[in-house]
């Protein structure tokens, strides 16, 4: 009896490990762009990484669609770079939103000699992978990783095309205490680089405005049961509960909150600001508020056209498809500007680029962050995400400097 239990536990551990290892074999193999390269052209590979399986596969697919459309658009133009006709090929990989897998996939892309990387989706995967791309001298543009650390590492190869979580946390925190007049705020984070980072920034801002953080509870990005931590939070009777995490965990959390009779407002950052959240949360979603690290589509200069084209080809936009589209397009624009697909030659062009994308003007500061980003707050009304307000990050930061 004793032995069989010990043996069983060992075997379970073995299954666990094998389960971790075996997942990706089928879908991660490189998918090339739809059409074949025209004869005589030079093939330029661009890597794209996002979780294409698991809880947030819908967001990964959304990002991939953005990149795919950008590549198709570029190929349709028939660009000539360095005197040669070029044909761009998207090499899409799945990192399962897992940091370890992300580094493996990153190395695989480096070995495949891609000219540039679009991604990853999560901050927790983007940050560890960025070191590998930096060492290989390959530029990386993320259209969705918002954790500030990503661009604070001093890597000349790391860029992002939307605002970061210092800015997002600031806007969210001020909204919670200023607009919603919350005095008691409870924080939940999912322990990922993104969730923990954003929750920390929100907590900092909330505290600086004089409100109380009554509880800070933890969960993980694969959990389904939140009742225990929510019961604790309920005992503190907060006005607002902020969750640093994604839609796949946030929606069940909101449902369970309401089942426990918690009436506090529920808020999340960009990871939970998706149509998928509304689908998952059902009726409980009404009145839910969240933010995105960018402009709403109807305020983007030419995004409406982009949106129609993307949705005609793929699925409705979830979150960051326009940003990934821009990330891909700006990478290609830098290659054109430098007249080279050699990363060493076109990184300087990328650093100084000024590009009109569908999400707005794209210029990078010396860290690789976008120069003028936006944070937009949304509220779910009648099952739709509706814009509450949009704020330029430079204005938000200026306001802080003034008050300090």
Partner 1 sequence: MDILLQQLINGLTLGSIYALVALGYTMVYGIIGLINFAHGEVVMIGAMVALSVMQMLTGSSIGLPGGLILLAGILAAIPVCMAIGYSVEKVAYRPLRNAPRLAPLITAIGVSIVLQNLALVIWGRNYKTLPPLWKVKLLTIGGATITDLQIVIILTALLMMAGLLLLVHKTRLGTAMRATAQNRTVAGLMGININVAISAAFLIGSGLAAVAGMMVTTYYGIGHYQMGFLLGLKAFTAAVLGGIGNLGGAMLGGILLGIIEALGAGYIGPLTNGVLGSNYQDIFAFFVLIGVLILRPSGLLGERVGDRA
Structure tokens at 388: 């509450």
Answer yes or no whether residue 21 interacts with partner 1 by CB under 8 A: no
Binder among 3, 39, 154, 210 for partner 1 (CB under 8 A): 3
Answer yes or no whether residue 380 interacts with partner 1 by CB under 8 A: no
Number of residues that bind partner 1 (CB under 8 A): 47
The DSSP call for residue 191 is S
- Give the interface segment with partner 1, choosing from 3-11, 75-83, 343-351, 359-367 (CB under 8 A): 3-11
Q: How many other C-beta atoms are found inside a 10 Å radius of the C-beta of residue 367? A: 17
- Give the interface segment with partner 1, choosing from 13-21, 312-320, 336-344, 387-395 (CB under 8 A): 13-21
Closer of 19 and 312 to partner 1 (Cβ)? 19
Answer yes or no whether residue 200 interacts with partner 1 by CB under 8 A: no
User: Do the beta carbons of residue 240 and residue 176 sit within 8 Å?
Assistant: yes
d(CA 389, CA 375): 8
Structure tokens at 176: 């919670």
Residue from 129, 69, 141 nearest 370 by CA? 141
- Which of the residues 88 through 107 are near partner 1 (CB under 8 A)? none
Task: Go through 317-340 and write b for each residue having 16 or more CB atoms within 10 A of its CB, e for each that does not.
Answer: bbbbbbbbbbbbbbbbbbbbbbeb
Answer yes or no whether residue 216 interacts with partner 1 by CB under 8 A: yes
Binding mask 42-81 for partner 1 (x = CB under 8 A): ----------xxxx-xx-----------------------
- Which of the residues 156 through 195 are near partner 1 (CB under 8 A)? 191
Output the smallest distance, CB 218 to partner 1, in A: 3
Distances (CA, A) of 185 to 52, 115, 180, 207, 265: 34, 45, 11, 9, 10
Output the smallest distance, CB 231 to partner 1, in A: 5
Binder among 78, 235, 316, 383 for partner 1 (CB under 8 A): 235
Answer yes or no whether residue 261 interacts with partner 1 by CB under 8 A: yes
Closer of 88 and 320 to partner 1 (Cβ)? 320
Answer yes or no whether residue 231 interacts with partner 1 by CB under 8 A: yes
- Which of the residues 269 through 308 are near partner 1 (CB under 8 A)? 279-280, 282-283
Q: How many other C-beta atoms are found inside a 10 Å radius of the C-beta of residue 347? A: 18
Output the smallest distance, CB 282 to partner 1, in A: 5
Residue from 228, 289, 237, 229 nearest 262 by CA? 237
State the sign of the Cα–Cα–Cα–Cα dihedral 370, 130, 268, 218. negative
Output the smallest distance, CB 58 to partner 1, in A: 7
Q: Beta strand pairing status for 240-244 and 116-119?
A: unpaired
Question: Cis omega before residue 348 (within 30°)?
Answer: no
Binder among 29, 80, 232, 354 for partner 1 (CB under 8 A): 232
Residues 6+ apart with CB under 8 A from 272: 243, 245, 246, 247, 250, 251, 290
d(CA 402, CA 177): 18
Residues 6+ apart with CB under 8 A from 365: 371
State the sign of the Cα–Cα–Cα–Cα dihedral 264, 261, 387, 204. positive
Output the smallest distance, CB 319 to partner 1, in A: 16
Output the smallest distance, CB 349 to partner 1, in A: 38
Binder among 71, 187, 229, 353 for partner 1 (CB under 8 A): 229
- Give the interface segment with partner 1, choosing from 32-40, 213-221, 321-329, 364-372 (CB under 8 A): 213-221
Contact residues for partner 1, defined by CB under 8 A: 1-5, 7-8, 11-12, 14-16, 18-19, 22, 27, 52-55, 57-58, 191, 216-220, 224-225, 227-229, 231-232, 234-235, 248, 252, 255, 259-261, 279-280, 282-283
């Amino acid at each position: 009896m004793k032995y069989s239990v010990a043996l069983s536990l060992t075997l379970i551990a073995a299954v666990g490990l094998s389960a971790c290892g075996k997942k990706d074999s089928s879908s991660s193999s490189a998918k090339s762009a739809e059409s074949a390269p025209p004869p005589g052209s030079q093939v330029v590979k661009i890597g794209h990484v996002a979780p294409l399986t698991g809880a947030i596969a819908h967001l990964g697919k959304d990002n991939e669609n953005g990149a795919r459309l950008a590549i198709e658009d570029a190929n349709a133009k028939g660009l000539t770079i360095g005197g040669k006709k070029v044909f761009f090929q998207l090499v899409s990989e799945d990192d399962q939103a897992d940091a370890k897998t992300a580094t493996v996939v990153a190395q695989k892309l480096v070995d495949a000699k891609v000219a540039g990387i679009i991604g990853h989706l999560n901050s927790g995967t983007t940050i560890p992978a960025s070191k590998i791309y930096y060492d290989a001298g390959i530029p990386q543009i993320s259209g969705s990783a918002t954790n500030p650390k990503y661009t604070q590492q001093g890597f000349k190869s790391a860029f992002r095309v939307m605002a970061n979580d210092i800015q997002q946390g600031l806007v969210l925190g001020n909204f919670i205490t200023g607009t919603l007049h919350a005095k008691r705020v409870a924080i939940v984070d999912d322990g990922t680089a993104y969730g923990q980072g954003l929750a920390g920034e929100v907590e900092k801002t909330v505290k600086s405005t004089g409100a109380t953080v009554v509880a800070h509870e933890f969960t993980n990005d694969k959990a389904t049961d939140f009742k225990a931590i929510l019961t604790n939070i309920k005992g503190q009777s907060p006005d607002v509960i902020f969750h640093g995490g994604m839609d796949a965990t946030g929606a069940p959390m909101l449902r369970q909150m309401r089942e426990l009779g918690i009436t506090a407002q529920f808020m999340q950052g960009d990871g939970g600001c998706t149509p998928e959240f509304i689908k998952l949360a059902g009726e409980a979603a009404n009145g839910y508020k969240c933010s995105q690290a960018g402009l709403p589509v109807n305020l983007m200069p030419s995004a409406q056209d982009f949106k129609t084209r993307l949705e005609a080809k793929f699925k409705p936009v979830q979150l960051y498809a326009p940003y990934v589209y821009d990330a891909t397009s700006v990478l290609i624009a830098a290659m054109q500007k430098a007249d080279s697909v050699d990363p060493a030659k076109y990184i300087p062009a990328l650093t100084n680029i000024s590009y009109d994308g569908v999400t707005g003007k794209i210029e990078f500061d010396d860290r690789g962050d976008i120069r003028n980003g936006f944070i937009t707050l949304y509220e779910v009304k009648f099952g739709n995400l509706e814009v509450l307000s949009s704020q330029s990050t430079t204005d938000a930061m200026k306001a802080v400097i003034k008050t300090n």
